[in-house]
Amino acid sequence: MTAPVLKPDSAALDRAGRLLAEGGLVAMPTETVYGLAADASNADAVARLYAAKGRPAFNPLIAHCASAEAAFAQGRFSEKARALAAEFWPGPLTFVVDAIETTTVCSLARAGLETLALRVPAHPAARALLEAFGGPLVAPSANPSGRISPTTAAHVSGDMGDKVDLILDGGPCSEGIESTVIDARGETPVLLRQGTVLAEAIEAVWPGLEAGGSADKPTSPGQLLRHYAPNARMRLNVATPEPGEAFLGFGPGKATLNLSPDGSLIEAAANLFSMMRQLDETHDRIAVATIPTDGLGAAINDRLVRAADRG
Ligand code: TXA
Ligand code: MG
């Protein structure tokens, strides 16, 4: 049985809210990638979610809230963290903070940690669902653990259609890569995952942003894991593809698919996962053009390096 795919009108949102209240799993669009939502307070639902994704239970989830006030009721935000939230919420920035004692986000969703990741998404369908449901929803990207994140409802349906109860189709995701994650517990923030909220933009509101850990020295459990893995082998920073390789281009020139013929990093981020998926279906080997490493290019290269790593 594959889950129904519905436009997020009021009937579909009502149905999704009811399913979540009963412990079901609902795929919802966000501005970054599609998320697989469950009631954050329901440990049985969260256990089902980990199982559906094949996600190791040491890797905690992001709790999504309808408003900054709702997030502040779950985690301890400093003055500086609140100022940053005021600037970027709703939007693609996730804060790791200390959980408050009365948090309704269950321990399983937090992987037993004292900390909690929180985000207020901007996508109207995600916001409407959070309003309809009336509490925090945990939502990892709606892909099997380790695979390429979904940016359309069709991606979710293909990957997870038999494991979820309902898929809300809010169209293609505008940002295309997952939220920026910062550890906001200290005097200065620490970057745990790069995303479309850029380091420079965070610095402008809360100076002193430090680089986070890496797979050798992880500061976020997610950094330990293999990610974004296509079946095809990927080669990066390629000027001239070899015979038989698909070429994922960037900027002017011949390519099998082009992330952005105009060389726009914003367009490239929005196309990245969807084009990786398309080429993965038709080719065993993918060569990727050089993507600049400045600005949003850093987040794009982070995803590409993980996708190319066979380790
Ligand atoms: O854009 C996004 O963030 C998407 C959409 C659906 O909102 N969600 C998403 O979730 O990317 P997920 O589960 O794929 O990634 C969550 C990341 C993981 O790397 C996890 O390790 C990290 O956040 N994380 C969660 N809680 C944490 C905590 N308490 N401390 C450190 N890292 C944490
Ligand atoms: Mg993910």
How large is the ipTM? Answer: 0.99
- Whether residues 204 and 255 share a domain: the answer is no
Looking at the structure of the chain, the number of domains it has is: 2
How much is the pLDDT for 234? Answer: 96
Q: H/E element holding 120?
A: none
Residue 78 burial class via C-beta count within 10 angstroms: exposed 0-12, middle 13-18, buried 19 and up: middle
pLDDT digits (tens, 9 = 90+) for 261-291: 999 999 999 999 999 999 999 999 999 999 9
Q: How many residues does the chain have?
A: 311
Beta partners for residue 187, in sequence order: none
- Whether residues 139 and 279 share a domain: the answer is no
Cβ atoms 178, 228 nearer than 8 A: no
258 dihedral zone (left: phi>0; alpha: psi -120 to 50; beta): beta
Last residue of a domain, one of 203, 224, 245: 224
Residue with CA closest to ligand 1 atom 33: 220
59 CA to middle of ligand 2, Å?
Answer: 10
- Whether residues 267 and 218 share a domain: the answer is no
- Whether residues 97 and 181 share a domain: the answer is yes
- Whether residues 148 and 44 share a domain: the answer is yes
Question: Residue 121: which of 173, 47, 192 has the closest Cα?
Answer: 173
Residue 257 burial class via C-beta count within 10 angstroms: exposed 0-12, middle 13-18, buried 19 and up: middle
76 CA to middle of ligand 2, Å?
Answer: 24
Does residue 62's CB lie within 6 angstroms of at least one atom of ligand 1? yes
Q: Is the peptide bond before 90 cis (omega within 30 degrees of 0)?
A: yes
Q: Domain of 203?
A: 5-224
Cβ atoms 23, 48 nearer than 8 A: yes
- Whether residues 194 and 271 share a domain: the answer is no
Residue type, 130: L
How much is the pLDDT for 220? Answer: 73
Q: Residue 101 is part of a domain; what is its CATH number?
A: 3.90.870.10
Last residue of a domain, one of 160, 191, 224: 224
Global pTM value? 0.96
How much is the pLDDT for 213? Answer: 65
- Whether residues 107 and 151 share a domain: the answer is yes
- Whether residues 181 and 246 share a domain: the answer is no
Low-confidence ranges of the chain (pLDDT < 50): none
Joined tokens for residue 151? 């940016």
How much is the pLDDT for 34? Answer: 98
Angle between helices 265-282 and 297-308 in degrees, nearest 10: 20
- Whether residues 61 and 155 share a domain: the answer is yes
How much is the pLDDT for 228? Answer: 84
Residue whose CB lies within 8 A of the most ligand 1 atoms, among 100, 174, 181, for a mutation test: 181
- Whether residues 217 and 237 share a domain: the answer is no
- Whether residues 30 and 166 share a domain: the answer is yes
Does residue 91's CB lie within 6 angstroms of at least one atom of ligand 1? no
- Whether residues 134 and 249 share a domain: the answer is no
Last residue of a domain, one of 185, 201, 224: 224
Residue whose CB lies within 8 A of the most ligand 1 atoms, among 178, 185, 226, 306, for a mutation test: 178
82 CA to middle of ligand 2, Å?
Answer: 25
Cβ atoms 265, 295 nearer than 8 A: yes
How much is the pLDDT for 227? Answer: 79
